[in-house]
Amino acid sequence: MNILMLAFIMYLIILVVIGIWSSKLNKTLDDFLIAGRKLGTWPVAISAEASDMSGWLVMGLPGRGFMYGVGAIWVAIGTAFGTLFNWSVIAKRFRRFTERLRSLTIPDFLEDRYQDDTHLIRGFATSIITIFMVAYVSVQLVASGKILSETFGWDYTSALILGFAIITFYTLMGGFFAVAWTDVFQGLLIVAILVVLPIAGIIKLGGIGEVFSAAGQVDSNTLSPGFGYGGLLFLLFAFASISWIFGYPGQPHILTRYMAIKDEKKLWNSTLIGMTWVIISLWGAVLIGIIGLAMFKGLPDPEKVMPLLAMELLPEWAAGVVIAAITAAIMSTADSQLLVATSSVVEDVYHKLINPKADQKRLVLLSRVSVLLLSAVAFILALQGGVIYFLVAFAWGGLAASFGPLIILSLWWKRTTKWGAIAGMISGTATVIIWDKFGIVASMAPELVVPGMLPAFFVSLSIIIVVSLCSSPPNTQHLFP
């Protein structure tokens, strides 16, 4: 067995141990879904960011850096500001509201917030979350298939099966506790690699100036923040990239982290830790793409630049650690998304609508069965493969448009109504699907394509406001004293 494989196996063993240990902590559905609101500062901070970034951070974003050079920085800027918005505007208020309403899930919160005894809000929210979360998990499986097949020479399907088995096992065993604590371990590993690998590349090429010089010789546009575009096309290029900022308030797998913290007063500390992690990681990912362009000149699949760079620059054992870190980024999002989708099926449908008297053991068991079934569906979707960056953009955009404007208004505008909420979710979902799937911008260069989340966000926001003003608001004295 070579050292690369040995380092990777040691990493997997650590994950299994964490999953088995944390399985003992799940006594109630609250424990399984949001860790009983008992998480401390570090687990909330690192888990929120690690679950956010996923394979997109270690494969999608470096791939974008490889293709567009310095121009990839706009994506990083949008992501960083989106993260800051969530921590500073959403987190504390969302934690407070969900505790007052005793909400375990996003549909729980929305139904209770709007006092909807018809369960229409729950039905629409649950359907949207399940669809887009399963799609999102399939993206992570695609990323795991790419990295494992590239590293160990396996065929894509075999690599996909291994990634599916690992992610499903420790999510099924440990629930939110396992997810949060593996995220801490994985998140720290990821940020360390995203610092070490660019430094190794800069030293190998003789300095940062040599890196940019070599990248510019391959394509001079990669040295331009606008990728060579000027005027209105530059604005379109930058705005298309920075639009990721609009997705953050609508991501259930991030929002549940804010629900899980033990003390909302500690959220400021989590904000500092989380933002530090994000800024370092984003810069590292973009630099890895640029260094890869300087070294390799061209690649059939730019999203594989990080593992290839690791195997080129580092000793075999260290390259094994990097592969583990990449896999860590993928799994830290997939597990969170599986739990969110599971909560929609078990808590929002079975427990709240079918069997309200179900005991906690039955609910935890059903949650584990749901993890298995939903991950199997995601596996089937992942067999088709695809470009990670754009697959993530679609799944992220669907959640962004369906829930982002609604979450913001639910927390900050007491005049929002039940019918406004329903209309916003439907219009946001429909706009993303129409924009991204029916070729509205198919004739444009990929780097100039505005993701569907941007127009859909503002369509949903406008619809919520208009419909709310035309309907009667709920009584919100208990939330807005």
- Section 395-407 average pLDDT: 91
3-state secondary structure of 118: coil
- Section 274-293 average pLDDT: 94
Is the pLDDT score of 30 beyond 60? no
**Tens of pLDDT along 177-219?**
556 666 777 788 888 889 999 999 999 999 999 999 999 999 9
Q: How far is the C-alpha of 352 from the C-alpha of 129, rounded, in Å?
A: 16
pLDDT score recorded for residue 157: 85
115: number of Cβ within 10 Å = 11
The mean pLDDT of the chain is 82
- Section 423-451 average pLDDT: 77
Lowest mean pLDDT among 112-121, 357-366, 370-379, 468-477: 357-366
The residue among 136 and 115 whose pLDDT is bigger is: 115
The residue among 420 and 395 whose pLDDT is bigger is: 420
Is the pLDDT score of 440 beyond 60? no
Kindly write down the DSSP assignment for every residue of 226-258, as one continuous string.
Answer: TTT--HHHHHHHHHHHHGGGGGGGG-HHHHHHH
- Section 38-52 average pLDDT: 73
3-state secondary structure of 39: strand
Is the pLDDT score of 396 beyond 60? yes
pLDDT score recorded for residue 104: 77
6: number of Cβ within 10 Å = 13
- Is residue 38 within 8 A of residue 185, CB to CB? The reply is no
pLDDT score recorded for residue 410: 95
pLDDT score recorded for residue 287: 96
Counting Cα atoms < 13 Å in the Cβ hemisphere of 329 gives 30
Count of positions (residues) in the chain: 481
The DSSP secondary-structure symbol of 261 reads B
Q: Which amino acid, residue 80?
A: A
> Residue 359 burial (CB < 10 Å; 0-12/13-18/19+)?
exposed
pLDDT score recorded for residue 473: 82
The residue among 355 and 406 whose pLDDT is bigger is: 406
Lowest mean pLDDT among 18-27, 259-268, 334-343: 18-27
Per-residue pLDDT band at 14 (split at 50, 70, 90) = confident
Specify which of 82-86, 103-107, 144-148 reaches the highest per-range mean pLDDT: 82-86
**Tens of pLDDT along 312-366?**
998 888 888 788 777 766 766 677 777 778 777 777 788 778 887 777 778 777 8
Is the pLDDT score of 26 beyond 60? no
pLDDT score recorded for residue 42: 74
pLDDT score recorded for residue 442: 47
Q: How far is the C-alpha of 163 from the C-alpha of 142, rounded, in Å?
A: 9
Q: How far is the C-alpha of 127 from the C-alpha of 462, rounded, in Å?
A: 22
Counting Cα atoms < 13 Å in the Cβ hemisphere of 254 gives 26
* Domains defined along the chain, listed by start: 3-387 (1.20.1730.10)
Per-residue pLDDT band at 175 (split at 50, 70, 90) = low
**Tens of pLDDT along 219-258?**
999 999 988 888 888 888 888 888 888 889 998 888 888 8
Lowest mean pLDDT among 115-124, 337-346, 443-452, 456-465: 443-452
Please list the residues that pair with 261 across neighbouring strands.
Answer: 39
14: number of Cβ within 10 Å = 15
Is the pLDDT score of 172 beyond 70? no
The residue among 393 and 406 whose pLDDT is bigger is: 406
pLDDT over 90 for what percent of the chain?
31
